[in-house]
Structure 1
Amino acid sequence: MANYSTVNPGKFHLGYRFPTPVLIDKLNMETQDEYRVELKFKHSVIVGRTVYVGNVQVFYRRSGIIKVQSDAMYKSIVNEFDTFTSYNKIEAAVDDGEEITAMIEFGEKILQFKQNTLYIINVSSQIEVLESTHRHKGVNNPASVCKTDFGIAWANRYGCYLYDGRTVYNLLEKEGVRKIKESTWNTFLNSGSYNPMVGYFPKKRQLFVVDDRAADGNGSCYIYDMITTSWIKSSSAKFEDTIKSNFINDWNGDLVYATSSTPKKWSDTPASSSSISFKIKDIDFGQPGVRKKIYKAYISYKGNGTNVNIQYSINGDTDTTAPFYRTIDDGSGSSDNTNSDTTPLQNVGTDDWVLAELKPVSSINNIYSFQLIITGTAAADFSINDISIIYRMKSAR
């Protein structure tokens, strides 16, 4: 189809439309221009004034060929964030049957995630170096990865991990003990086809793992406290059971995400009473083979604890529990030493922390381990600050 346009007064030329870019092979070009490629990409990061992109569709300007390279990463020319060349291609592994699913930077390193594998790439020098490869630590989507002030965190079907710049830690394990059973974690994520959504709440220094980023879960989550290194699990419907964006932190440090209808912000302000189930670990006080005597336990709490059930078990027998004496209803938290009660706490208000003295109804003597079990219904204003156990080691006979 011919087109006419004015280039000079009274001068005309005849032109044509081309469905694809015109390729010029015979003219001399600079090396950078000769090997320049046009990219479409799914993931990107910026490190040291250079853009790194992954899982790309490449258009080679010189040959006109288009290729999809789902396992490749390209870097831009320094300070030219939209300029890429074919010789700046980076492949941590070639034809491994996986595609890049997420990328995130940490210092001068890039964490490149595939479905099953994590590659940590050092980009501090002109030539990139593959520092380490971590099998079974990949993710299925970028919403499963987030930044924290401790490092990079992510979750998959095998665990929840933290990279601090040197080591990858599994947050489900501590000192050789698994904190959450494998079957429990698998059931939690399998409802969402192993597509968790991970975010960080800096105000409380807590890591959130939501069961699914779409509508296949039930909106429940696990919360990991970075300070106490402990996990808690929420009930269902704490997060919208619908297609969700990834988590981000807004200008105020709040944890937010979006659905198709409205943005959402996480709030841990209690709204109503709820059922609770909390067990401290079966404590042997560092001496599993030595007999002990338990004198009492102290719980620092505030709010209405009248419906909170507190009992204990010994020697790992969680099927058998025993009660404490009731505390005095005078705000002191002292034991009355008389009335056996599975709900020994009182409604003490929220002005100050009250230290409740829990004395066992029956003597706890010659035991090897001890465990507190807290269940029942917690009022909206009920909270526990700390727990202490008074005990004595017994001499060996």
Structure 2
Amino acid sequence: MDIQGYCAPGYEALYDAFASNFRDHGDTGASFCAVLRGEIVASLWAGSADRDGARPFEEHTLTNVFSSSKGVLALIALQQVAAGRLDLDLPVAHYWPEFAAAGKQDITGRQLLCHRSGVIAFREKVADDLIYDWEAALRQVAATEPWWTPGSRQGYAPFLYGWTLGGLIEKASGLSLMSLYCEGVAEPLALDGGFGAVGHRSTSIADVGPLKKPLPELRDNAIGRSIKEDRQGPVATAFTNPVTLMMGTNGASWRGALIPAANGHFSARDLATIYGDLASEAPALLPADLLRTSIEEQSRGQDAILQAEVAFACGFIRSGEAQDLYFGSPAGFGHPGAGGSIGFADPLAEVGFGYVTSRMGQSLFMDQRAVGLMQCLYRLL
């Protein structure tokens, strides 16, 4: 495998760690980037961006990072707090009156951010094309009944998170989510990607598909077992209503839509740049004092949907003890995405980390590919 890119002196071992993902773990197109104290110490890419091997994977190639999108969405919400437009402890309905329907009148923005709202899936079967219509999705989520009493338990919202939080951001700011992303995140950091796969600086888009040979799991697949045991239950419904949430990810409709919990298309360099800024002592994207309080633990427990012990800050997952949720140090925070992509910040080491892949593993957290790169990087620090 011809590895392209750059490693700073002293970080050359990352070449082989990245190459081993292709040699041993099934990668066919991927990129990796690490930022240390504001400087890129590694930016590597290799393979092809399409299934036929006709288009090379490049540094600016955008890959659907699925739930790694959620960290970027949370950042935009926190920027509205910084601007005085949004108070996380007010009810969402204060800004978005329609959201009060079906017993949601007391749900706060903070509860949305740390997955304690109970709004984890559409209750009714919805049309397959609903997810491609932003305004229709907002209306549907505003009418949706929570699955349990809001605030009573932690339950991850795989897809509705994007419409609940995204809708709140737009209602509170009076501005479109895309304009807020462009002006508040993409332009200051000169990022290549964003939500969806159109309208960004890069036009190189990777096709995603499953790994040809599954990786050994770093944890028991409790989510898959729960889905099989109860096809109508909250776990299955959260991931499959509608089925286009799982089936349409290479299509033009998916790439052209705004599905901010799941269709962010970023490069590894994009993610490392974002989290490198958030790992710094003087971040450009958020006031330092707001960032410090926002990354404090807000909720911890056996998550009703993820079927795992997870700790949430305001929109970010906190570093945990499990290997697939350990983000550099106990102070780390970030967000993995289904299939293996990950972006995280480690304020102790001032590290920003990004890895994206077009070959999806079966985990919703990190798998051996990102873990191996992280472990190699930290041996070199």
TM-score with structure 1 length normalisation? 0.19
Q: Name the structure, 1 or 2, with higher relative contact order (CA <8 Å, separation 6+).
A: 2
Q: Higher strand share goes to which structure?
A: 1
